[in-house]
Structure 1
Amino acid sequence: MLDAEDIFFIFVIANFALGFLFIGTQLYFGYFRMNEILRNLSNSRGVELRRSIMGRDPLTRFFMLISVGAMLTFHQRSIKGGDLDAEDYKHFPRSLHQMIKLSYMSALFGGALLFVLWAIGKYMGWLK
């Protein structure tokens, strides 16, 4: 039978697995789908401003993808703020939009879960 510490450990391992999955999807989007993403968001000011710092390295591509994920997930705010063009959002490929949004939301969930697990571990005395 599993006790509370075992269940906590399972959640921690699952959260790290989610993190590795997120990194894998970001690498995929960053190196295999980035041109398509940038082409479909060519009129968006937020993408154009960040395009100049994007290089071939994973970190700047991750930054670009996280920015695009935030713009597509919170599209009303991004359109209102001028970072995302309404026509770009309307014509963005639906399947790619859903994959980026799912990846972004799972990263937000994983980050929040990490803080919750840390707080529970500290409270229960499992973490020093």
Structure 2
Amino acid sequence: MRSDIEILFLLSGLVLIALILLASLTLLFVAYFFARDIFKYLGRSPAVTARKRALGWEPIGRFLFISNVGTLLIFSRKSIRSGELDAKDYETLPAGLRRIILFSNGMMLVLSAIAIVGVVLGKVNGWLS
């Protein structure tokens, strides 16, 4: 018989997996249906134009592309200083699209950190073998 804490650990792990899947699907949705807008508004940014040539229709490539764009937007000051992101491009990107990309990528970062902590906690307590 499993203890209550083990059942809670299992249920929170399942919720975490569902949230990671939801955030991943949101990122893929943006990568497939808003890629043209991203290239339109971030067309002068070297980091984005370099990815344009390699972007195909496969989900992994699209996911990596939108993750890269999200990283540029999350760390926008650093990206602008290093020349990877053009400041005018960043300002012209529609606020709604920017919010969706930032929120989804931020959620992936937070959920990934929670997943790592959960795995370490599960290993230490013997809930994961």
TM-score band, normalised by shorter chain: over 0.9
Task: Report deviation, 1:3.
Answer: 2.2
Distance 2:60 2:123 in 1: 31
Return the TM-score normalized by structure 1: 0.94
Cα distance in structure 2, aligned partners of 1:104 and 1:83: 18
TM-score (norm 2): 0.93
Q: Cα deviations across residues 2-57 of structure 1 (Å, max 9, x unaligned)?
A: 82112211221111001110221122112111111111100101001111111111
Q: Is the counterpart of residue 38 in structure 1 residue 39 in structure 2?
A: yes
Aligned equivalents of 1:72, 1:30: Cα separation in 2: 15
Q: Does the residue aligned with 1:56 lie in a helix, a strand or coil?
A: coil
Q: Structure 1 stretches (4+) deviating beyond 3 angstroms?
A: none
1:84-121 CA-to-partner distances (Å, cap 9, x unmatched) read 00001111100110110000000011111111000110
d(CA) in 2 for partners of 1:111, 1:40? 29
Gaps of 5+ in 1: none
Aligned to 2:99: 98
Letter matched to residue 91 of structure 1: T
**Unmatched runs of 5 consecutive residues or more in structure 2:** none
Query: Aligned residues: percent identity?
Result: 34
